[in-house]
Amino acid sequence: MNTFNGKNAVVFLDFDNTITTYDVFDNMLLQFSEDDTWKDLEERWKNNEIGSRECLEGQIKTISVTKKALDEYLGRIELDPYFKRLLRFLRARRIKTMVLSDNFDYLLSRILSKNGIRGLKIYSNKARLTGGRLVPQFPFTDKKCRVCAHCKKKNLLSNVNGHSVAIYIGDGQSDACPAKYVNKVFAKEALLDYCRKEGIFHIPYKNLKEVYEYLKKEYRNGKDRKN
């Protein structure tokens, strides 16, 4: 059985409603969307009628915002109170840690920077702001799969090997696929429902304090067993 330690562990985190305490992109739609057409797209996506790329492409077109207004909004977003502590714990033990997000790099980079987080590896969709519009790009789409805008599974698997202990922390529909390819899943909300339905072993959590305390205890116990 693999032992959880800094040499073989790889930790993957979702961003929205995992590192942050709510879905940043959905809240942006409430703040800056010109109309309510994004709500219909959201329902169609939740009902599996369309994939997340089609949903996001349609939704982001409804957003109209200046750079000043957007940056001010992003600067007010706070992270889960235990995220920094969790990240310090992982970095101190040289545990490989990265973010897999279906959100956009423009948003993630500014939120993390404003909260003093630097040097964290991020895989996400991309967007540039021009003329009051966010123009999206999807560099990590799997052309063979129409479900996800960002194929988290592909980026997850490219960062593990046969000796890795892969840990996934998430909450949503975009986390369902990668959750099937890891050793340990921390799940809440939609991801929790999915894991229960599919019989995937998981650890329910409500916030990152619970994840931090669990991993800290397991790391200590793993080191004790090794010694």
**Which tokens is 77 given?**
């977003």
Helix, strand or coil, per DSSP, at residue 193? helix
Average pLDDT for residues 141-157, to the nearest whole number? 94
pLDDT in tens, 11-63: 999 999 999 999 999 999 999 999 999 999 999 999 989 999 999 999 999 99
Residue 5: pLDDT band with limits 50, 70, 90: low
pLDDT at 143: 87
Give the strand pairing for 165-170 and 133-137: unpaired
State yes or no: pLDDT of 3 exceeds 60: no
Would you give the end-to-end CA distance of the chain in angstroms?
Answer: 16
Tell me the C-alpha distance between 163 and 165, whole Å: 7
pLDDT at 196: 97
Decide if 33 contacts 62 (C-beta within 8 A): yes
Tell me the C-alpha distance between 158 and 212, whole Å: 25
Sheet holding 165-170, edge to edge: 133-137, 121-130, 96-104, 9-13, 165-170, 184-187, 203-204
- The phi and psi torsions of 118 (rounded to 5 degrees) equal -135, 155
Q: Tokens 């340990």 map to which residue? A: 184
H or E stretch at 89:
helix 83-92
Residue 222: pLDDT band with limits 50, 70, 90: low
State yes or no: pLDDT of 68 exceeds 80: yes
Average pLDDT for residues 183-196, to the nearest whole number? 97
Decide if 17 contacts 189 (C-beta within 8 A): yes
What is the pTM for the complete model shown?
0.93
